[in-house]
């Protein structure tokens, strides 16, 4: 058995050290360790000299704590690093409503902005439109990028139904706000109706029945005031989308060596390539490499036979257990490699790095640093 | 208990547990509906079937003549169905679709989308034989199992009334939401949590149970998924966890088993043994924290070679052995 085919190893340090790398986006299925990976990459980049900010979306409390932060809000907070760190690390958690409000305030005059922010329909849109979180993550990324305050921005993508939602969200929100329905709902009773032809009265009455007249009024008021803002809004979404395609952006796909997570990773890599987004590599997280030394050459069958002979003799229970444990590990490792290699066979040339499973969860910067070490320098285990 | 909502942190195996639960509940001649709401087609890929549609269709049989049917709830289909059911206006509904009402109903107001999806499950729970919505006669399904969104979103997903209330203070949608909420809060509905014996999933489970209870919903069981038995003798666990396992004794055992280079092998294996011991102790601590929730704990073993129908049937038997039945 050998290391990853083709592609070779992801050179994490070269990626993080390269001054041309300005954005790293971590993506993958839920529960694979995206947020931890993003934080570990950010810490490593900071300690290697870059002014780094990590944007997370709803991190586990423990992860915020591991960076020495009790809470995270919509602005970057400095993470205290050990002495000798050459760069700096900030971390922030996305507040989608605050971010949306800021966009409105930036593009609308004060009176109009106030109207929009007070509109119940806007409030629903800014807190719960199913693409808002993804869209605002991208908006925040654009803001931080334009500020010029950061050498490197590391983004943890939202735990969406699909890991791809954040690529589509800006378009979807744009399509919605610019769409036929919203024009229809906000029409003052002329042009739009003619376009719809027969049956519009019925449709209007159905919408009124289902959602209620009050909501329709809110939508109309919202569209009337939002129209002025919308052009800038959409332009910005397009800019951010293009920013993701630039060569200074690096997508890092994270997966655990399990069927579903790898399938999602595969789908994601296809999509990135379809959208001309730069893929830096694949992190296979929480793997179970074999130990160093002679145990690496002890096969599962041989270990099980040896354990059985000890058990038959009724002696050395700890050694028998160690041998059974090793046999399990060998079998698990075999499955992991098979799954990984199947993925890499479909995606030749994708640089890969493995991060071995930790015995316990990440609790502090030292643990995050250990993850970063693994991301940067995984020995090619058998 | 008729509606079983299965949630858990991403990666804990919610879909697997939901499918195994459906099979366990169908054992002995039951008819169970498995509802997927996230559009991921996890059930179909688990069972090796083509993608599910919004129409119920048989996906598996259980011992004793039991049947599991499944559907992928779809907000657009549910909206059209809802319009037809309450207003008899399917055509207008289709016009709505052409206008982009899909975006409207499913994106602009996720509260509305959620109420349509959960409403699909509560409708199936209340359905009587012959398709009647109310009245006499046996229920069409013995149980409905929902493969629900992950713990991070479950509170918002199930708290449909307040989500919709922000948008629609009155009107039929509000009325529908109120009815769905009543069904979700009734004692016929339980929210089960899938956890692993790891810190973050267990933390999310504890937070989720508290959130669900605060919403007036009923937390059900905590399913400890992918449980692995400890291999090390009890006496050696704590010393190994502290890195004090007797390496000479380990080497002696390896030598007695006839293996080459016992000392080198012992040194090489010791790390695995220590890490295993630390993990076992951590898992015990996490299990006792989960026990403190006061919910029944159900164990499901790790399925090593990927989950398929045969593996699901095995998991269903594990659930049955622990008392899960209709």
- In DSSP notation, A107-163 reads HS-HHHHHHHHH-HHHHHHHHH-TTHHHHHHHHHHHHHHHHT--SEEEEEPP--SST
In a domain, A335, yes or no: no
Please check whether residues B147 and B240 belong to one and the same domain. no
Residue in chain B closest to A129 (alpha carbons) equals B108
Closest by Cα among A173, A199, A325 to B103: A173
Between these two residues, B248 and B86, which has the higher pLDDT value?
A: B248
Which residues from A are below 8 Å from B168, CB to CB? 211-212, 214-215
Between these two residues, B296 and A120, which has the higher pLDDT value?
A: B296
Which residues have CB under 8 Å from B124's CB, separation 6+? B33, B35, B56, B140, B141, B144
In a domain, B326, yes or no: no
In a domain, B181, yes or no: yes
Please check whether residues B14 and B127 belong to one and the same domain. yes
Domain count, chain A: 2
Which residues from B are below 8 Å from A212, CB to CB? 168-171, 173-174
Please check whether residues B219 and B275 belong to one and the same domain. no
* CATH code assigned at B162: 3.40.50.300
- The reply to whether residue A172 touches residue B103, judged by beta carbons under 8 angstroms, is yes
Task: Flag residues of chain A having pLDDT under 70.
Answer: 1-7, 58-62, 128-131, 159-166, 169-216, 227-230, 378-382
Please check whether residues A310 and A177 belong to one and the same domain. no
- The rounded distance, in Å, linking the Cα atoms of A164 and A162 is 5
Please check whether residues B28 and B170 belong to one and the same domain. yes
Please check whether residues A283 and A310 belong to one and the same domain. no
- The rounded distance, in Å, linking the Cα atoms of B158 and B190 is 12
Count of other CB atoms within 10 angstroms of residue A183: 15
* CATH code assigned at A20: 3.40.50.300
- Is A28 within 8 Å of A254 (Cβ atoms)? yes
In a domain, B295, yes or no: no
Between A248-262, A328-342, B77-91, B191-205, the lowest mean confidence (pLDDT) is in: B77-91
Which residues have CB under 8 Å from A293's CB, separation 6+? B264, B265, B267, B268
Interface predicted TM-score (ipTM) of this complex, two decimals: 0.82
**For B13-43, how does the pLDDT look when each residue is reduced to its tens digit (9 = 90+)?**
999 999 999 999 999 999 999 999 987 888 9
- The reply to whether residue A293 touches residue B166, judged by beta carbons under 8 angstroms, is no
Closest by Cα among A324, A121, A223, A167 to B109: A121
In the prediction, which pLDDT does B232 show? 87
In a domain, B100, yes or no: yes
Please check whether residues A149 and A98 belong to one and the same domain. yes
What does the pLDDT average to over B224-228?
93
- The reply to whether residue B171 touches residue A323, judged by beta carbons under 8 angstroms, is no
Instruction: Give phi and psi for A253, each to the nearest 5.
Output: -90, 130
H-assigned helices in chain A: 12-17, 34-47, 61-66, 96-107, 110-118, 120-128, 132-147, 165-177, 180-186, 191-196, 200-211, 213-245, 259-274, 300-313, 317-346, 365-376
In a domain, A123, yes or no: yes
Closest by Cα among A29, A25, A24 to A267: A29
Strands B57-62 and B66-72, bridge-based pairing: antiparallel
Domain span at residue B248 reads: 231-289
In the prediction, which pLDDT does A187 show? 58
Count of other CB atoms within 10 angstroms of residue A63: 22
Mutation pick from A31, A123, A290, A314 vs chain B, by most beta carbons of B within 10 Å, is A31
The pair of structure tokens assigned to A251 is: 């997508």
Distance of CA A130 to CAs A40, A96, A134, A239, A241, Å?
A: 28, 11, 8, 21, 18
In the prediction, which pLDDT does B170 show? 62
Please check whether residues A259 and A119 belong to one and the same domain. yes
Chain A touched by B39 (CB under 8 Å): yes
Round the average pLDDT of chain B to a whole number and report it.
87
* pLDDT surpassing 90 at residue B87: no
Please check whether residues B122 and B34 belong to one and the same domain. yes
Please check whether residues B252 and B161 belong to one and the same domain. no
Which residues from B are below 8 Å from A60, CB to CB? 200, 203-204
In the prediction, which pLDDT does B103 show? 57
Q: What single-letter DSSP state applies at residue B128?
A: B
In a domain, B294, yes or no: no
- Is B215 within 8 Å of B189 (Cβ atoms)? no
Please check whether residues B41 and B108 belong to one and the same domain. yes
In a domain, B96, yes or no: yes
Please check whether residues B36 and B85 belong to one and the same domain. yes
- Name the residue facing B233 among A294, A321, A361 (closest C-beta): A321
Domain count, chain B: 2
Please check whether residues A61 and A104 belong to one and the same domain. yes
Which residues have CB under 8 Å from A193's CB, separation 6+? A184, A187, A200
In the prediction, which pLDDT does B45 show? 87
Residue in chain B closest to A206 (alpha carbons) equals B92
- The rounded distance, in Å, linking the Cα atoms of A31 and A8 is 25
Mutation pick from B272, B277, B281, B304 vs chain A, by most beta carbons of A within 10 Å, is B272
Please check whether residues B111 and B255 belong to one and the same domain. no
- Is B45 within 8 Å of B61 (Cβ atoms)? no
- The reply to whether residue A256 touches residue B173, judged by beta carbons under 8 angstroms, is no
Please check whether residues A316 and A370 belong to one and the same domain. no
Mutation pick from B90, B99, B202 vs chain A, by most beta carbons of A within 10 Å, is B99
Which residues from A are below 8 Å from B236, CB to CB? 317-318, 321
Strands B297-301 and B219-227, bridge-based pairing: parallel
Mutation pick from A96, A122, A322 vs chain B, by most beta carbons of B within 10 Å, is A322
Minimal Cα–Cα distance from B305 to chain A, Å?
A: 8
Chain A touched by B93 (CB under 8 Å): yes
Please check whether residues A127 and A211 belong to one and the same domain. yes
- Name the residue facing B259 among A31, A125, A306 (closest C-beta): A306
| CA angle, A286 then A374 then B273, to 5° | 55
Which residues from B are below 8 Å from A335, CB to CB? 304-305
In the prediction, which pLDDT does A190 show? 41
The residues in B 268-307 lying below 8 A from A, measured between CB atoms, are 268-273, 275-276, 278-279, 282, 304-306
- List the beta bridge partners of residue B72: B36
Chain A touched by B80 (CB under 8 Å): no
- Is B82 within 8 Å of B119 (Cβ atoms)? yes
Which residues have CB under 8 Å from A380's CB, separation 6+? A2, A3, A9
- The reply to whether residue B250 touches residue A322, judged by beta carbons under 8 angstroms, is yes
In the prediction, which pLDDT does A192 show? 42
What does the pLDDT average to over B147-175?
77
Mutation pick from B254, B281, B285 vs chain A, by most beta carbons of A within 10 Å, is B254
Please check whether residues B264 and B315 belong to one and the same domain. no
Chain A touched by B250 (CB under 8 Å): yes
Instruction: Give phi and psi for A27, each to the nearest 5.
Output: -140, 160
Which residues from A are below 8 Å from B169, CB to CB? 212, 214
Where is B60: in which H helix or E strand?
A: strand B57-62
In the prediction, which pLDDT does A369 show? 93
Chain A touched by B320 (CB under 8 Å): no
- The reply to whether residue A30 touches residue B171, judged by beta carbons under 8 angstroms, is no
- The reply to whether residue B199 touches residue A360, judged by beta carbons under 8 angstroms, is yes
In a domain, B297, yes or no: no
Between A249-258, A289-298, B166-175, B277-286, the lowest mean confidence (pLDDT) is in: B166-175
In a domain, A381, yes or no: no
Place of tokens 């000479």: B248
Domain span at residue A279 reads: 12-292+340-376
Left (φ > 0), alpha (ψ -120 to 50) or beta: where does A354 sit?
A: beta
* pLDDT surpassing 50 at residue B223: yes
Please check whether residues A49 and A24 belong to one and the same domain. yes
In the prediction, which pLDDT does A252 show? 96
In a domain, B194, yes or no: yes
In the prediction, which pLDDT does B99 show? 60
The pair of structure tokens assigned to B299 is: 């164990």
Q: How far is CA A53 from its chain centroid?
A: 15
Percent of chain B with pLDDT over 90: 58
Please check whether residues A181 and A301 belong to one and the same domain. no
Please check whether residues B153 and B62 belong to one and the same domain. yes
Minimal Cα–Cα distance from B198 to chain A, Å?
A: 8
In a domain, A3, yes or no: no
Minimal Cα–Cα distance from B42 to chain A, Å?
A: 9
Instruction: Give phi and psi for B322, each to the nearest 5.
Output: -95, 15
- Name the residue facing B10 among A159, A203, A329 (closest C-beta): A159
H-assigned helices in chain B: 14-26, 42-47, 75-87, 90-99, 101-102, 110-126, 151-158, 160-165, 172-185, 199-214, 234-241, 247-256, 262-291, 309-321
In a domain, A174, yes or no: yes
Give the dihedral sign, CA B78/B132/B180/B316.
Answer: negative
- The reply to whether residue B253 touches residue A318, judged by beta carbons under 8 angstroms, is yes
Chain A touched by B85 (CB under 8 Å): no
- Is A256 within 8 Å of A324 (Cβ atoms)? no
Please check whether residues B41 and B136 belong to one and the same domain. yes
Please check whether residues A211 and A144 belong to one and the same domain. yes
- The rounded distance, in Å, linking the Cα atoms of B307 and B163 is 36
In a domain, A5, yes or no: no
Please check whether residues A233 and A347 belong to one and the same domain. yes
Please check whether residues A299 and A286 belong to one and the same domain. no
């Amino acid at each position: 058995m050998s290391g990853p085919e083709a592609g070779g190893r992801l050179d994490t340090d070269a990626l993080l050290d390269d001054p041309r790398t300005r954005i790293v986006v971590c993506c993958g299925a839920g529960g694979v360790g995206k947020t931890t990976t993003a934080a570990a990459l950010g810490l490593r980049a900071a300690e290697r000299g870059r002014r780094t900010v990590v944007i997370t979306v709803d991190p586990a409390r423990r992860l915020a704590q591991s960076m020495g932060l009790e809470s995270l809000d919509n602005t970057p907070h400095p993470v205290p690093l050990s002495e000798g760190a050459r760069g700096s690390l900030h971390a922030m958690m996305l507040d989608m409503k605050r971010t949306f409000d800021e966009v409105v305030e930036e593009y609308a005059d004060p009176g109009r902005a106030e109207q929009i922010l007070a509109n119940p329909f806007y409030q629903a849109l800014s807190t719960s439109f199913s693409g808002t979180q993804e869209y605002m993550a991208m908006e925040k990324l654009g803001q931080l990028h334009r500020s010029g305050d950061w050498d490197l921005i590391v983004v943890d993508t939202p735990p969406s139904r699909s890991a791809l939602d954040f690529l589509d969200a800006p378009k979807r929100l744009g399509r919605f706000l610019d769409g036929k329905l919203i024009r229809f709902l906000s029409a003052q009773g002329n042009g739009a109706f003619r376009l719809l032809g027969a049956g519009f009265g019925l449709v209007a009455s159905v919408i009124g029945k289902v959602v209620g007249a009050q909501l329709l009024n809110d939508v109309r008021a919202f569209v009337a005031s939002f129209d002025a803002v919308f052009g800038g809004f959409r332009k910005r979404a397009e800019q951010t989308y293009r920013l993701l395609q630039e060569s200074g952006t690096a997508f890092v796909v994270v997966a655990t060596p399990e069927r579903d997570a790898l399938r999602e990773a595969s789908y994601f890599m296809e999509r990135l390539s379809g959208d001309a987004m730069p893929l830096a590599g694949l992190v296979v997280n929480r793997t179970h490499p074999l130990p160093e030394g002679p145990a690496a050459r002890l096969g599962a069958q041989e270990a099980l036979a040896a354990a059985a002979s000890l058990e038959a003799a009724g002696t050395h229970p700890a050694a028998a257990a160690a041998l059974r444990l090793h046999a399990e590990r060998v079998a698990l490792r075999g499955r992991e490699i098979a799954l990984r290699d199947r993925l890499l066979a479909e995606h030749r040339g994708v640089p890969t790095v493995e991060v071995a499973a930790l015995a316990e969860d990440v609790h502090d910067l030292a643990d995050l640093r250990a993850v970063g070490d693994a991301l940067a320098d995984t020995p090619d285990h058998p | 208990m008729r509606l079983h909502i299965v949630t858990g942190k991403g990666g804990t195996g919610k879909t697997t547990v939901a499918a195994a639960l459906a099979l366990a509940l169908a054992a002995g001649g039951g008819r169970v509906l498995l509802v997927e709401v996230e559009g991921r087609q996890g059930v179909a890929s688990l069972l090796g079937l083509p993608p599910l549609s919004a129409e119920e269709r048989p996906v598996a049989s259980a011992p004793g003549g039991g049947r599991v049917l499944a559907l992928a709830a779809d907000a657009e289909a549910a909206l059209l169905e809802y319009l037809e059911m309450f207003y008899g206006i399917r055509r207008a509904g289709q016009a709505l679709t052409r206008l982009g009402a899909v975006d409207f109903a499913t994106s602009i107001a996720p509260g509305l989308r959620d109420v349509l999806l959960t409403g699909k499950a509560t409708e199936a729970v209340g359905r009587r034989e012959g398709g009647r919505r109310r009245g006499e006669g046996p229920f069409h399904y013995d149980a409905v199992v929902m493969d629900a969104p992950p713990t991070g979103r479950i509170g918002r997903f199930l708290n449909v009334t307040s989500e919709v209330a922000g948008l629609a203070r009155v009107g039929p949608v509000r009325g529908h939401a109120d009815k769905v909420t009543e069904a979700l809060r009734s004692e016929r509905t339980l929210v089960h949590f899938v956890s692993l014996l790891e810190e973050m999933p267990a933390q999310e489970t504890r937070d989720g149970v508290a959130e669900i209870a605060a919403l007036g919903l009923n937390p059900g069981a905590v399913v400890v998924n992918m449980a692995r038995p400890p291999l090390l003798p009890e006496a050696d666990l704590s010393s190994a966890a502290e890195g004090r396992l007797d390496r000479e004794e380990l080497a002696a055992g390896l030598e007695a088993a006839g293996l080459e280079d016992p000392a080198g092998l012992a040194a090489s294996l010791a790390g695995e043994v220590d890490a295993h011991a630390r993990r076992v102790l951590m898992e015990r601590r996490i299990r006792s924290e989960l026990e403190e929730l006061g919910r029944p704990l159900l164990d499901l073993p790790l399925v090593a070679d990927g989950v398929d129908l045969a593996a699901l049937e095995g998991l269903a038997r594990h659930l049955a052995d622990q008392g899960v039945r209709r």
